[in-house]
């Protein structure tokens, strides 16, 4: 019965569920956090600036602003970009809802441009077709970590005076034409959720080269308050500060920044391990006709946040759902990234119709995300490969 999928009564490839993503915390991470606990500052202390400086240096940006999570980073960037009521912002439907929600936070309107069938990233031809006099910004997402066509998107932005905010929540360490993602557009955002490349529990970062944007981001993170003498409208004494616009408490703590610092020191090692695992997956699946993969490009290297297989369901006796359930039954913690954002009930109620981005919807109906994280053992990787082979072979037409 070895070759019978667990869903039909065979014994599963694995005894315990393998998650699709997970953090890697070592003793040095723990020590870094404990040191902060023993010190004077739990928040707004020196670790924040250290983390920001090292992060900016790592990605090749002038400034970095640490915030409470990646969604707060998107919100802050949308604010700093000046997005307001009635403004349209173009993004991809194949992303986490936060990439579009940040536009709603500012009273703007997300506009979804369809993806390309090849690399599943936003298609610049679609972007051009959706520009209007109200378009204010573009939020491209480096889906799975694979950089979008940044030069082409920036060209469109220059011609139409738009702000580009890269959502690089999947792309820490990824490169585009030899340069790391993070220093290439007006603003770039990152997330430090435990499934992402490095973690601070919850956490996020915005990078920029622009001093004015930097100052607005810092102020937005802390209630819209400034103490900067140069920015104050009056000066009533040494205690004096001003709240100058509506901001939030989106600060990261020093506990988290300490974790971020020790994690960042390992980012390259984590990325190398992700690439090793991906190389094994690619090799293992290359001769399975039912499976196709995201097309890669010679001029960019993915950050490999996610590894996704696309099923040719015409060649299978069952649909994506059954394959997904069969892999879960093998204790492989597969997932689906993503439900096109505008198909969520909230967006449907705002008036976004089904069928808006046909290529995105087709992709969504055929994809499965396999486990990928640096702490996976060789056995874990072998198990995933075996489970995929077993399930696909079993349901082959």
Ligand X SMILES: *Cc1c(COP(=O)(O)O)cnc(C)c1O
Q: Residue 74 or residue 387: which is nearer to ligand X going by CB? A: 74
Q: According to the binding rule CB under 6 A, does residue 167 interact with ligand X? A: yes
Stretch that binds ligand X, among 162-170, 177-185, 209-217, 258-266 (CB under 6 A): 162-170
- The least CB distance from residue 163 to ligand X, in Å, is 17
Q: According to the binding rule CB under 6 A, does residue 372 interact with ligand X? A: no
E strand intervals along 278-343 = 291-292, 300-301, 307-311
- The least CB distance from residue 62 to ligand X, in Å, is 23
**Pairwise CA distance, residues 251 & 220, whole Å:** 10
Q: Residue 136 or residue 170: which is nearer to ligand X going by CB? A: 170
- CA 362 → CA 107, 115, 124, 313, 318, distances in Å? 30, 10, 19, 11, 16
Q: According to the binding rule CB under 6 A, does residue 169 interact with ligand X? A: yes
Q: According to the binding rule CB under 6 A, does residue 95 interact with ligand X? A: yes
Q: According to the binding rule CB under 6 A, does residue 98 interact with ligand X? A: yes
Could you say which residues in the range 51-70 bind ligand X, by CB under 6 A? 69-70
Q: Residue 170 or residue 273: which is nearer to ligand X going by CB? A: 170
Active-site positions? 196
Q: According to the binding rule CB under 6 A, does residue 204 interact with ligand X? A: yes
Residue nearest to ligand X (CB): 70
Q: Residue 79 or residue 285: which is nearer to ligand X going by CB? A: 79
Q: According to the binding rule CB under 6 A, does residue 141 interact with ligand X? A: yes
Stretch that binds ligand X, among 94-102, 233-241, 247-255, 280-288 (CB under 6 A): 94-102
Q: According to the binding rule CB under 6 A, does residue 188 interact with ligand X? A: no
Q: According to the binding rule CB under 6 A, does residue 23 interact with ligand X? A: no
Positive or negative torsion for Cα 192, 301, 127, 362:
negative
Q: Which helix (H) or strand (E) holds 281?
A: helix 267-285
**Pairwise CA distance, residues 391 & 334, whole Å:** 13
**Pairwise CA distance, residues 205 & 79, whole Å:** 14
Q: According to the binding rule CB under 6 A, does residue 193 interact with ligand X? A: yes
Q: According to the binding rule CB under 6 A, does residue 170 interact with ligand X? A: yes
Q: Which residues contact 3 (CB under 8 A, 6 or more apart)?
A: 10, 390, 393, 394
- The least CB distance from residue 21 to ligand X, in Å, is 10
User: How many Cα atoms within 13 Å fall on the side-chain side of residue 41?
Assistant: 13
**Pairwise CA distance, residues 233 & 186, whole Å:** 27
Q: According to the binding rule CB under 6 A, does residue 140 interact with ligand X? A: no
Stretch that binds ligand X, among 91-99, 156-164, 369-377, 383-391 (CB under 6 A): 91-99
Q: Which helix (H) or strand (E) holds 111?
A: strand 109-112
Q: Which residues contact 329 (CB under 8 A, 6 or more apart)?
A: 5, 6, 7, 12
> DSSP state, 19?
P
Among 99, 200, 207, 263, binds ligand X (CB under 6 A): 99
Q: According to the binding rule CB under 6 A, does residue 191 interact with ligand X? A: yes
**Pairwise CA distance, residues 161 & 129, whole Å:** 16
- The least CB distance from residue 179 to ligand X, in Å, is 20
Write out the residues near ligand X by the rule CB under 6 A: 69-71, 95-96, 98-99, 141, 167, 169-170, 191, 193, 204
């Amino acid at each position: 019965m070895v070759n019978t999928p667990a869903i039909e009564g065979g014994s599963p490839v694995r005894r315990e569920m393998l998650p699709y993503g997970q953090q890697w915390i070592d003793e040095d991470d723990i020590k870094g956090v404990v040191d902060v606990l023993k010190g004077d500052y739990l928040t707004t202390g020196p670790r924040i600036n250290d983390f920001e400086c090292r992060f900016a240096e790592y990605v090749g940006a002038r400034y970095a602003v640490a915030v409470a999570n990646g969604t707060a980073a998107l919100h802050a960037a949308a604010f700093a970009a000046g997005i307001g009521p009635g403004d349209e912002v173009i993004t991809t439907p194949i992303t986490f809802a936060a990439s579009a929600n940040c536009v709603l936070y500012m009273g703007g309107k997300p506009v979804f441009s369809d993806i390309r069938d090849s690399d599943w990233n936003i298609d610049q031809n679609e972007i051009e077709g959706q520009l209007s006099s109200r378009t204010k910004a573009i939020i491209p997402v480096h889906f799975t970590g694979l950089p979008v066509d940044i030069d082409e998107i920036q060209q469109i932005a220059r011609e139409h005076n738009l702000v580009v905010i890269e959502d690089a929540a999947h792309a820490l360490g990824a490169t585009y034409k030899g340069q790391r993602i993070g220093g290439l557009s007006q603003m770039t955002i990152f997330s430090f959720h435990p499934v992402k490349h490095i973690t601070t529990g919850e956490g996020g970062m915005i990078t920029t080269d622009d001093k004015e944007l930097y100052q607005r981001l810092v102020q937005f993170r802390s209630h819209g308050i400034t103490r900067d003498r140069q920015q104050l409208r009056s000066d009533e004494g040494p205690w004096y500060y001003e709240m100058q616009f509506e901001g939030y408490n989106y600060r990261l703590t020093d506990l988290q920044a300490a974790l971020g610092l020790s994690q960042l020191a390992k980012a390259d090692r984590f990325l190398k391990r992700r690439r090793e695992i991906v190389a094994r997956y690619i090799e293992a699946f290359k001769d399975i006709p039912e499976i196709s993969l995201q097309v890669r490009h010679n001029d960019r290297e993915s950050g490999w946040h996610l590894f996704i297989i696309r099923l040719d369901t015409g060649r299978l006796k069952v649909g994506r759902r059954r394959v997904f359930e069969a892999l879960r039954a093998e204790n492989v913690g597969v997932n689906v990234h993503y439900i096109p954002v505008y198909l969520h009930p909230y967006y449907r109620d705002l008036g976004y119709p089904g069928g808006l981005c046909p290529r995105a919807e087709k992709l969504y109906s055929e994809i499965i995300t396999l486990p990928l994280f640096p702490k996976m053992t060789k056995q874990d990787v072998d198990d995933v490969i075996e489970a995929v082979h077993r399930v696909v072979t079993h349901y082959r037409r």
